[in-house]
Structure 1
Amino acid sequence: MRLNPTGEVPVLVHDNHVICDPTQIMDYLEQNFCDEQTPKLIPEEGSTYYHRVQHYRELLDSLQMDAYTHGCILHPEITVDSHIPAYATTHIRTQIGNTESELKKLAVENPDLKDAYIAKQRRLKSKLFDHDNMKYLKKLLDELENVLDQVETELQRRSEETPEEGSQQAWLCGDFFSIADVSLAVTLHRLKFLGLSRRYWGNGMRVNLETYYERVLDRPTFRRVLGHVNNILISAVLPTAFRVAKKKAPAFVGATLLVGLIGGATYLAFIYFKKRLLVS
């Protein structure tokens, strides 16, 4: 909370820089941690692919992943083959309910941060109210349909550009793995985890998207890095893990750890392991 008054994760601290916005963090890493062994994820501005990559990056990053995640936990009836165990769903629901009172408690314990904690509590209350609203959730899931339709069309264009059998398959924006692919890969992986994949691909629906996700899963680095990131969500429900995290960083993470992990684990994984996605 002292690093980011909004109480959101992730936060990057490097040298004298404190960066709280996920997009700005990604850009900072891209600009400052590239070398000959690490291909760039963002094409040079003005290049043929730059605007295409930026368009899909912004489109995919605008998706409300925290709403999908909270919604599927609060309303498991909308999911099919969710990877979240029933016991975990029940525990997470309880923890989410306790977070509001925990924030109020932290506001009392940290008077210098009182306003920040109270503001966080009010934002969280409003957000969870929306995410528990089936009408609102249905609207978001329908909008996701439109986004994935655009992605499916773009993937079909890539397929038509490389029609020769045995030729190297392209990714979302070209023959290179870009930051837009990172956004798409983690989005699909979370949807699969939540039990929403059958709604959006498979059984002859969005076949390019289905093939794309299978290719992503075949990448050794994806399995090594993001293959375990969804386990963060499950481990977050363990009381011991929750208490340890609070003990180590009460002013920064505090009671918002659970909700932050639920909504932001994808960003955390990307930021920490960003460059490894490109290997092999």
Structure 2
Amino acid sequence: MDSPAIMKEVVHGLWFDSCCICIPELIPQLMPEAGSLLHSRVLQYREILESLPMDAYTHGCILHPELTIDSMIPKYATAEIRRHLANATTELLKLDNEEPQLTEPYLSKHKKLMAKILEHDNVNNLTKILIELSMVLDQVEAELEKRKLEYEGRKCELWLCGNTFTLADILLGATLHRLKFLGLSKKHWEDGSRPNLQSYFERIQKRYAFRRVLGDIHTTLLSAVLPNAFRLVKRKPPSFFGASFLMGSLGGMGYFAYWYLKKKYI
């Protein structure tokens, strides 16, 4: 099946189970009508969730697996990335001798990468942003509780901003998916501390588009993203560029569905 056909299924799948017939004119908009209460809620949580430093969570958890529980990142990832970063200077000197015209662009890339990794490698900074993450998830938990009270006694699905699935849910679902992969779910909702969030994540994982785009965490991220990234690390000089590709892959995979739909509907 070609890509346009696959993406069409993804869009339809957001609203219907795979066994249902899709009727385009009945598919609700991902962004509610401007001026409505639902619209303002979606804007609020879209801003909150988009501001989360997902790259810092990802890099920090790779470099400090001791802060995670049941992380799905292979154990060799930390050592592999640190090894490539440690060898970056040697690689640059070698490159300067072999391909002097490439030294400057690679050096610039290396400096930017190192600055970012050093920031994300700071345990104190990582602890701080994880505390801030807990505060955001507390707010989400409270919002989900409001939905239960708001629609009490009514037979309808409950999502973050109302009884309609919106862009805010796409972003929240992708965020929870990433946190689960990184080994942060046990500390943030699977320990029973946020039952509404846990129930929400269980429901969103059953949606057709979620399964199709993000798929199973083990098979999609581990068997597809990481091995391909490490193969490039081994083949492509300089090494730090491979490490950069690995982290970039991890940093972008979780938001594929959200960004596609954002471009399509907004």
Q: TM-score normalised by the shorter chain: which range applies?
A: 0.7 to 0.9
Cα offset, 1:148, TM superposition = 0.5
Contact 2:70 2:183 (8 Å CA) reproduced? yes
* CA distance in 2: counterparts of 1:126 and 1:102, whole angstroms: 18
Contact 2:229 2:242 (8 Å CA) reproduced? no
- The aligned amino acid for 2:57 is Y
Q: Which residue of 2 aligns with 1:210?
A: 198
2:186 pairs with 1:198: yes
Contact 1:191 1:197 (8 Å CA) reproduced? yes
Q: Deviations over 1:197-250 (max 9, x none)?
A: 0111123211100000000111132112112553354234432x4578x69xx9
The unaligned stretches of length 5 or more in structure 2 are: 1-23
1:266 to 230, 237, 254: 254
* CA distance in 2: counterparts of 1:254 and 1:271, whole angstroms: 24
Cα offset, 1:177, TM superposition = 1.1
Percent sequence identity over aligned pairs: 48
Q: Which residue of 2 aligns with 1:235?
A: 227
Q: Deviations over 1:2-50 (max 9, x none)?
A: xxxxxxxxxxxxxxxxxxxxxxxxxxxxxxxxx7475421123222221
Contact 1:151 1:209 (8 Å CA) reproduced? yes
2:214 pairs with 1:226: yes
The unaligned stretches of length 5 or more in structure 1 are: 1-34, 276-280
In terms of mean alpha carbon deviation, does 126-135 or 262-271 score higher?
Answer: 262-271
Cα offset, 1:99, TM superposition = 6.6
- The aligned amino acid for 2:226 is I
1:158 to 131, 139, 147: 147
Contact 2:113 2:244 (8 Å CA) reproduced? no
Contact 2:144 2:159 (8 Å CA) reproduced? yes
Q: Which residue of 2 aligns with 1:16?
A: none
Q: Which residue of 1 aligns with 2:74?
A: 85
Q: TM-score, normalised by structure 1?
A: 0.70
Q: TM-score, normalised by structure 2?
A: 0.74
* CA distance in 2: counterparts of 1:96 and 1:42, whole angstroms: 42
2:167 to 158, 172, 179: 179
Which structure carries more relative contact order (alpha carbon 8 Å, separation 6+)? Answer: 2
* CA distance in 2: counterparts of 1:255 and 1:151, whole angstroms: 33
| SS of equivalent residue, structure 2 residue 156 | coil
* CA distance in 1: counterparts of 2:89 and 2:201, whole angstroms: 36
Cα offset, 1:92, TM superposition = 4.0
* CA distance in 2: counterparts of 1:189 and 1:37, whole angstroms: 28
2:32 pairs with 1:43: yes
* CA distance in 1: counterparts of 2:103 and 2:28, whole angstroms: 41
- The aligned amino acid for 2:210 is F
* CA distance in 1: counterparts of 2:27 and 2:198, whole angstroms: 28
- The aligned amino acid for 1:40 is Q
Assess, with a 3 A threshold, how the Cα gap between structure 1 residues 96 and 73 changes in structure 2: closer, same or farther.
farther
2:121 pairs with 1:129: no
The total of aligned residue pairs comes to 231
Cα offset, 1:126, TM superposition = 1.4
Return the index of the structure with the highest Cα Rg: 2
Could you say which structure has the higher helix fraction?
2
Assess, with a 3 A threshold, how the Cα gap between structure 1 residues 93 and 215 changes in structure 2: closer, same or farther.
farther
Backbone CA RMSD of aligned residues: 3.2
Contact 2:92 2:103 (8 Å CA) reproduced? no
| SS of equivalent residue, structure 1 residue 262 | helix
